[in-house]
Amino acid sequence: MESRKDIANQELWKMKPMRNLEDDQLTKHSGETSMLKRPVLSHLHQTTHFDEFDCPSELQYQQELFPKWRLPLKIAAIVASLTFLYTLLRETIHPLVTAHQQYFYRIPILVINKVLPVVSITLLALVYLPGVIASVVQLHNGTKYKKFPHWLDRWMLTRKQFGLLSFFFAVLHAIYSLSYPMRRSYRYKLLNWAYQQVQQNKEDAWIEHDVWRMEIYVSLGIVGLAILALLAVTSIPSVSDSLTWREFHYIQSKLGMVSLLLGTIHALIFAWNKWVDIRQFVWYTPPTFMIAVVLPIIVLICKAILFLPCLRKKILKIRHGWEDVTKINKTEMSSQL
């Protein structure tokens, strides 16, 4: 007869989810544990009890603190700092030097809100740029079995973190933009505009193209932010585990490129006719929106080129295991020499 303890163990085995059963089978055959399981501290006594948020000091020294977030955070900090200094020079230093006008009140909202979209769209472009580089490398090597360079491999492993940071800065940009009408300086500007309209004896201040410009770029920004939110939600492990690989790849790849395209068009329409306005080039420096769209446009153009049938078919063949023998032989001969 089976003991009560054995019966309880069998009942617990039946109650285990299917994914845990698969992990146990993998452990049984390969001797390796699942990556999703918590580390087992066999050297600790069973009588030791830990709180829910406590961690043994031995384990704290073994685990790293946000290893995959270090590179994205460094890049985001560098881009944000450089953009802030550049915008500060144009928005506050230039008026102070040339016209002795103090516009330092612009720093908390206006200057910061010009930095946020630049950082967001740059980080989003950095999510899809390594995929372009990887495709070019595979086309050059003629095989998928050759390892990528270490820096490219590290970059591709941190794409999720780049995307989440891009979403974070995009949300901040939306919140800052919504706060514009609440600013006291904006209310004073409205009064000044109304007074100038009365002085000029204008009954209607409606500007058709400016109205269309704002309606379009705000709408595109909302849709782009919504798609970014969808990408952020599907990157949560509990959500991504419920999707098939094809569904997850479609959302992250296809919809991600749509979000990058909408963000780029959003910036271009925001600029409207400012591209040819000489007054925008303060101290011969281009405006921030002109710098912000350079990298996204490069990524979109490269993606469009790689999507051409002649290149697309070859990339798919390589990723399915096909190898270009001529390029492999050339590589081997050059390595032997």
**pLDDT greater than 90 at residue 257:** yes
**pLDDT greater than 70 at residue 143:** yes
For residues 16 and 159, what is the distance between their CA atoms, to the nearest angstrom?
33
Q: What's the Cα-to-Cα distance from 56 to each of 59, 231, 258, 303, rounded to whole Å?
A: 5, 35, 45, 48
Phi, psi of 2 (to 5 degrees): -85, 145
pLDDT digits (tens, 9 = 90+) for 229-244: 999 999 999 999 999 9
| Secondary structure E strands in the chain | none
Which of the four pLDDT bands, split at 50, 70 and 90, describes residue 17?
A: very low
Which of the four pLDDT bands, split at 50, 70 and 90, describes residue 117?
A: very high
Tell me the domain boundaries of the chain.
Answer: 66-334
Q: What's the Cα-to-Cα distance from 271 to each of 149, 262, 292, rounded to whole Å?
A: 38, 14, 11
Exposure string for 31-69, b = 16+ CB within 10 A, e = fewer: eeeeeeeeeeeeeeeeeeeeeeeeeeeeeeeeeeeeeeb
pLDDT for the residue numbered 37? 41
Positive or negative CA dihedral for 315, 311, 247, 76?
positive
**pLDDT greater than 70 at residue 109:** yes
pLDDT digits (tens, 9 = 90+) for 291-317: 999 999 999 999 999 999 999 999 999
For residues 315 and 174, what is the distance between their CA atoms, to the nearest angstrom?
38
**pLDDT greater than 80 at residue 174:** yes
Among the listed residues 110, 284, 271, 112, the one whose alpha carbon sits nearest the alpha carbon of residue 183:
110
- The pair of three-digit structure tokens given for residue 321, joined into one six-digit string: 């295991």
Exposure string for 292-308, b = 16+ CB within 10 A, e = fewer: bbebbeebbebbeebee
pLDDT for the residue numbered 63? 75
pLDDT for the residue numbered 199? 86
pLDDT for the residue numbered 89? 95
pLDDT digits (tens, 9 = 90+) for 187-226: 888 888 888 888 888 878 788 888 999 999 999 999 999 9
The 3-state DSSP class for residue 123 equals helix
For residues 185 and 181, what is the distance between their CA atoms, to the nearest angstrom?
9
Which of the four pLDDT bands, split at 50, 70 and 90, describes residue 335?
A: low
Residue pair 266/217 in contact (Cβ under 8 Å)? The answer is: yes
For residues 8 and 6, what is the distance between their CA atoms, to the nearest angstrom?
5
Total-model pTM: 0.79
User: CB atoms < 10 A from the CB of 189, how many?
Assistant: 11
Among the listed residues 174, 161, 176, 173, the one whose alpha carbon sits nearest the alpha carbon of residue 74:
161
pLDDT for the residue numbered 278? 87
Phi, psi of 151 (to 5 degrees): -65, -35
pLDDT digits (tens, 9 = 90+) for 40-86: 444 444 444 445 556 666 666 667 788 889 999 999 999 999 999 99
Residue pair 122/133 in contact (Cβ under 8 Å)? The answer is: no
